[in-house]
Amino acid sequence: MERSLKQQEAQRQKSSEDKTYSCSYLRIFSSSAQVISMLFFIFVFCYQQSFSQPLASNKTKFVGNIIGRAFHANFSQYWDQVTAENAGKWGSVEMSQGSYDFAHLDSIYHYALSNHFPYKHHTLIWGSQQPSFMSTLDSASQYQEIVKWIDTTGQRYPEADFCDVVNEPLHHPPSYKNVLGGSGATGWDWVIKAFELARKYWSPRTKLLINEYSVINGDTAGAKYLQIINVLKERGLIDGIGVQAHWFEVDGGASVTALKNNLDSLAATGLPIYISELDIDRQDDSTQLQRYQTIFPVLYEHPAVKGVTLWGYMQHETWRRFTYLVRADGSERPALQWLRKYLLTSH
């Protein structure tokens, strides 16, 4: 009888222990399931966020784009820097003497500010898209108009982060360059004067840049570009170097090694480099993807490059037919999908 009672008591203890173990196991399982569920939620949230934020969010280098004639709601889903495609060019703003139309440029500028995106003004002095009335004026009047243009824009956009003071000095100097000093003793006195005026009339917070193409895919233009840059640097007039990097420069125009070596040469000045107008003009999706995979890392990962701006992304709105990255129906070309993954997983 006594043994029976002891056996029953032992059985009850074992049953109680089994229940305790079972409950503990369930609690552990439940806790693990909660952790897994939470991790999955975090993963999904982060993945979704990667599609709702600019591609280079939380990166030290921006990846920006231009705004042309139209604003697109998806701009901020991809890009975190703004350049006006044409709205900031003198010929677009002052088509007739003394009559300024800043409406579209103002909207682009304020869009950038409201989204906390760096804004670059493009451009002050360029031999193309200049007001036609300039050719009808005498030298003194031309100079007055240049000063007025630079002063007016400087006052209007005091929070601009960057400004292309002179665009394409090697390939498209303005017809009125002699008014600014011509070649002069340095060979580039007119560029110096343009930067002096920009330094005088633009905000100290705005970094003054020069901008040019075909300077990293060959030696001749690159060497001349360095001459201008060093002349400006000696005078404390320049804050950064613009390298356009259009398709005809980087896509077959030079080897990856040449691109890197020429970037190294520019970087030796000690000035930051900004890739300013990158595009890859390829109709075939696979080819465009392959070229982006080859070229973009060379540019973006160079230590002197502080940001990359692409020159358009919406189909039917790019200056070259096949440089777009988002189709008219809103779908993304493979190169853009790759770019997101590249920036999300590294660098």
Residue 307 in contact with residue 276, Cβ under 8 Å? no
- Report the alpha-carbon distance of residue 155 to residue 34 in Å, rounded: 57
**Complete DSSP assignment for 15-61:** HHHHHHHHHHHHHHHHHHHHHHHHHHHHHHHHHHHHHHS-TTTT-SS
332 belongs to the catalytic site: no
Round the CA-based radius of gyration of the chain to a whole number and report it.
Answer: 29
Residue in 277, 301, 317, 332 annotated catalytic: 277
- Cβ within 8 Å of residue 299, ≥6 positions away: 245, 250, 259, 263, 275, 278, 305, 308
Token pair 């779908």: residue? 331
Phi and psi at 22, nearest 5°, equal -65, -45
277 belongs to the catalytic site: yes
**Complete DSSP assignment for 205-258:** TSEEEEEESSSSS-HHHHHHHHHHHHHHHHTT---EEEE---HHHHSSSS-HHH
Q: How many CB atoms lie within 10 A of CB 19?
A: 10
Phi and psi at 176, nearest 5°, equal -100, 20
Angle 190-192-193 from CA coordinates, rounded to 5°: 65
Residue in 85, 94, 145, 168 annotated catalytic: 168
Q: Catalytic residue numbers?
A: 168, 277
